[in-house]
Structure 1
Amino acid sequence: MNNLMGAYSPKSSPIHRAPLWSKWLVIFGITLACAMTHTWWVPALALMLVLVLALMARLSLHELGAALWSVKWLLLAMSLYYLFFDKLALGADVLLTLLTLIFATKVLLFTTPMTSLIDGFVRGCKPLRGLGVSPELVGLAIALMLRSIPVIMDRWVILQTAVKARGIKLSAAHLFTPLVMTTVAYAHETGDAIVARGLDSPKNKQV
């Protein structure tokens, strides 16, 4: 997950210093251009732009390659599908768009602290307050979701280690049930902590 999504790396590149709104604007523009067109050369140009931004952000080729390696089976399956059905032009469009968005997300997360991303999302949701949506609670939910991903992955590793330590041979499918149980327990613990601190009420949140 970390190889695919990436993590913030404090550096002094122009992309790091760029305001968050400009990064969102570039990603939105790239996504819109790729979605509104049906020719492979548009996402190809977008991919070239994203790679230039990645180099400007001082993302190493190893980190970019790690992102590709994380989705190798998905890329392989999609490539075989489009080859089998002789849809090369469509396949190139879809695959190039996918790579563009993966690398764009990598650049965003590499150059922006997670706290800044969440704060920016909360500010962007403020117009929805009139509809009864609490931007602060939405931001809290996002923060909890992002925090839960590494916790769940750690518990998966712990389960695998415990099984190996006991000399038991089990497939990954057999570990799914205890993983779900520990995940549900973690969710209950988190929910109880939120309620105990009164964070579940919008009245107790301040902008």
Structure 2
Amino acid sequence: MLTLYRPGNGRLHRMPAGPKVLLLLAVVLGVSLLPAVWWAAGAAAAVTILAYAMAGLGDGMRELGRQVRSVRWVVAITLAGQLVFLGPEQAVANASRVVAAVVIAALLVITTRVSALLHAVERGLHPLQRLRVDPQRVALLLTVTLNTIPVLARLAGEVRDAQRARGTRASLRLFVVPFLVVALKHADEFGDALTARGVR
């Protein structure tokens, strides 16, 4: 399974996967529930900077910059779509909350091995077996989702970098088709990998 985990010895790296999931989930939920006003955009940015500063990554601000750059197309699309239907204040606040939530959630996959994340989610969902919920399948689904968001952001960055290297001007129309091609190719390869491991 493709993972964005980066070895380290920071605070988040040392924290057990279960409490880490709950902590980051609470932070993401808190950011998502901010109102759509100007100060919320600043608050979302401040919480994100604080999260990366306290994560103990060593180069936290550089990593934050990498994560924000990797979702720049998410920022552009979200902001443009919101500006069409909402005013500038709501558009900026909503885009800030979305970006902050995605970037903070990325801390989980950056600082947690996939195996540890799977075990933590399985343990947390174990009591639901009485309700015929399969903890292994749910854990796999959540883990794949958490890993896919930053992977797609990275693929978007690679497509844009390739276009820039060829001298292609920045255009959403010219970006979407090659991005969909590489995203679908990744999904197909990932599905084949899961099938080869007996996951259906």
> Per-residue deviation at 1:64?
2.4
The one-letter code matched in structure 2 to 1:17 is R
Output the CA distance in 2 between the equivalents of 1:189 and 1:7. Answer: 17
Output the CA distance in 2 between the equivalents of 1:142 and 1:79. Answer: 27
Aligned-partner SS, 1:121: helix
Matching residue of 2:123: 123
> Per-residue deviation at 1:91?
1.2
Matching residue of 1:15: 12
TM-score normalised by L of structure 1: 0.61
Write out per-residue CA displacement over residues 129-179 of structure 1, whole angstroms, 9 at most, x where no aligned residue: 0011221343456667869x89xx8xxxxxxxxxxxxxxxxxx67x95xx7
> Per-residue deviation at 1:187?
4.4
Matching residue of 2:132: 132
> Per-residue deviation at 1:93?
1.9
Unmatched 5+ residue regions in structure 2?
156-176
2:113 is the counterpart of 1:113: yes
> Per-residue deviation at 1:43?
5.4
TM-score normalised by L of structure 2: 0.63
Q: Does the Cα contact within 8 Å between 1:7 and 1:110 map onto a contact in 2? A: yes
Distance 1:126 1:44, change over 3 A: farther
2:75 is the counterpart of 1:75: yes
The one-letter code matched in structure 1 to 2:30 is A
Matching residue of 1:157: none
Aligned-partner SS, 2:23: helix
Matching residue of 2:195: 191
Q: Whose Rg is larger?
A: 1
Aligned-partner SS, 1:30: helix
Count of aligned positions: 168
Matching residue of 1:25: 22
Distance 1:34 1:193, change over 3 A: closer
Superposed CA RMSD: 3.9
The one-letter code matched in structure 1 to 2:134 is S
Output the CA distance in 2 between the equivalents of 1:108 and 1:144. Answer: 13
Distance 1:130 1:190, change over 3 A: same
Matching residue of 1:48: 46
Matching residue of 2:95: 95
Distance 1:103 1:188, change over 3 A: closer
Output the CA distance in 1 between the equivalents of 2:191 and 2:36. Answer: 44
Write out per-residue CA displacement over residues 102-124 of structure 1, whole angstroms, 9 at most, x where no aligned residue: 22122222221111111111111
> Per-residue deviation at 1:14?
1.8
